[in-house]
Structure 1
Amino acid sequence: MEDLLILDIFWNKRLVKDSSGNEFEIFRGKDYEKDWVDLGFGYSKNSRGVFLWDNECFKKYAKQIDLTSFEMIQANTSENTFYFKDVNSIYLDSYMSGQVKIENANPKKFQLIDIDKGYITSNDKDFWYGTELPYRISNMTPINESYQRVDDSIFFGHTHQVLCDTQTFEIINSKVSTVARDKNYVYFKSEIIEGACPKTFKFMEDCIADDSPPYLECDIHFYAKDKNFAYFINVPFGFKIIKTKDLSNFRFIVRDGIGYGIDSNFYYEKGRRKKLK
């Protein structure tokens, strides 16, 4: 191997030339770096650790991982979700969780329920990605992609209980998955929007209608109002209460491809007030 000239280097092999001028491929794990093992989908292991391409994975758990038994269980490449196990534990690398060890999951009693949704079960406990659920998945009914109903309880994001009136709880508009109400309050995720009136709260028709003109981040940015205030909603990240003094004239417009709230004196970019010019 020492007299080979390396012509090109790939992740799992090399193109080389010998002293006679013959070109051929040699393979990592077989012909060189013989402790290297391809785990699939860019993941590998050797005697030093676990890697995704050339970057070390699961660094936090490096001293806990049993490298001899470490292997990939299942992968969902479209969701960037990959499950692994060793003799002691279950590990997950996902856009939803990062690189984690799933606490209280037993590799000997582990079953994937739905890899697309991140549901697994182990030891008579159910998990959503890397988080242990406070209920069994069989008792859960999805309300939408954000909220779940479990018996007489409502959860946001599978783990955050919404302290609400469960009989009147509803999603206000299907396009805005993180805003809901009951007879008493309006909620963003599991948080009460203080001062919002559930009876009169509604999203501005010009930003929610199917024929509304497109605008920047129109899938996550929305404006709403009720009898008290106007509101800017950023679906994944938060909300802003707009205390306009001209609520009756508050409306939504699209200008140069950007959506704004506007009243007689100000316009509101992502809920932030700016003086009309």
Structure 2
Amino acid sequence: MYDSNERIKNSDPYTFQRINEHLVRDKNQFYSNDGTVLNVDGKSFQIVKDYEKDYFMYAKDKNKAYYINFMDGKDEMVKELKGLNPKNFKVLNRYYTKDDKKVYFSKEYADIQEVQNVDVKSFEVLYFENIENKDDFGKDKNKVYLFGLELKGVKPEKFQVMKEPITEKIIYVRDENNLFVIFYDYFSGFNFVKTKKIENIDFATLKWKSARELEDKNGEYIVNGSVIDEDKIEIKFIKK
């Protein structure tokens, strides 16, 4: 095995084997297509869940659990999911993983997020068919999460996504009694969610006029602000 025309240390061409589109191995080590040696224990390394078409996978060895993204640079390709026990490591969906003590959220272009103060035993992933962020929600018996971050004030009972105007980076959600708008964004090293409750909504007469305008029998609600203009986040109510 060669990298920049130099033979890679400890590589064994006689046991060379392709695992998938992005990964090869020999008897000693695992390599990406560009010759990067994965910083894992080569003897015990195994793939737990492979999302080959999306260039990432979850894996483990005898010591650690990993999120591996082949689109990242050489030094960022293999990310340890710190503190997860490989013996109890489970992949819940594309972005959430857990063991018996911790839950992690991992996504391309987003920060790897250990879910804080989560009830691991009751945690489950949520799936919403017709939205962009369909795999990004989870809940436990007490809270709801987006990108591994708590949606403050939102209760898990009867939680559902109402509307997602994707170009606005906002999502409307509800629990049993209340409507909320979530302002969100994510990129390398940064996940952001801010939850704003829309007071006294009448769900029976609720309808959207546009991405940021909605109304019910009581009046009109205008949603202002964004991640960039966090100090301008507000819900303006115009009474009928």
TM-score using structure 2 length: 0.54
Aligned to 2:109: none
Matched-pair contact (CA < 8 Å) for 2:25–2:31:
yes
Matched-pair contact (CA < 8 Å) for 2:116–2:149:
yes
1:50-199 correspondence runs (5 A): 66=8, 69=11, 74=18, 76-77=20-21, 81-83=22-24, 91-92=31-32, 102-103=38-39, 105-107=40-42, 109=43, 111-113=45-47, 116-117=50-51, 118-122=57-61, 124-129=63-68, 130-133=78-81, 134-151=83-100, 153-157=102-106, 160-175=114-129, 176-199=134-157
The count of corresponding residues between Structure 1 and Structure 2 is: 196
**Structure 1 CA distance, aligned partners of 2:49 and 2:120?**
29
How many angstroms does 1:124 deviate by?
4.8
- Structure index of larger Rg: 1
**Structure 2 CA distance, aligned partners of 1:122 and 1:173?**
29
Higher relative contact order (CA 8 A, sep 6+): 2
Matched-pair contact (CA < 8 Å) for 2:64–2:86:
no
Q: Compared with structure 1, are the counterparts of its residues 216 and 260 closer, same or farther at alpha carbon in structure 2 (3 Å cutoff)?
A: same
Amino acid in the other structure paired with 1:191:
L
How many angstroms does 1:164 deviate by?
1.9
User: Which one of the candidate residues 219, 224, 230 is aligned to 2:173?
Assistant: 224
| Runs of at least 5 residues in structure 1 that lack an aligned partner in the other structure | 1-36, 48-64, 209-214
Q: Compared with structure 1, are the counterparts of its residues 229 and 159 closer, same or farther at alpha carbon in structure 2 (3 Å cutoff)?
A: closer
Amino acid in the other structure paired with 1:223:
Y
Matched-pair contact (CA < 8 Å) for 1:120–1:128:
yes
Aligned to 1:28: none
What do residues 208-265 of structure 1 show as CA deviations (whole Å, max 9, x unaligned)? 8xxxxxx7669x963213445512365865433234456336956475xxx4452404
How many angstroms does 1:119 deviate by?
3.9
Matched-pair contact (CA < 8 Å) for 1:166–1:182:
yes
TM-score using structure 1 length: 0.48
| Runs of at least 5 residues in structure 2 that lack an aligned partner in the other structure | 52-56, 69-77, 107-111, 228-232
Q: Percent identity?
A: 17
1:198-213 correspondence runs (5 A): 198-199=156-157, 201-204=159-162, 207=163
Amino acid in the other structure paired with 2:67:
W
**Structure 1 CA distance, aligned partners of 2:192 and 2:141?**
22
Give me the CA root mean square deviation: 4.8
Aligned to 1:241: 195
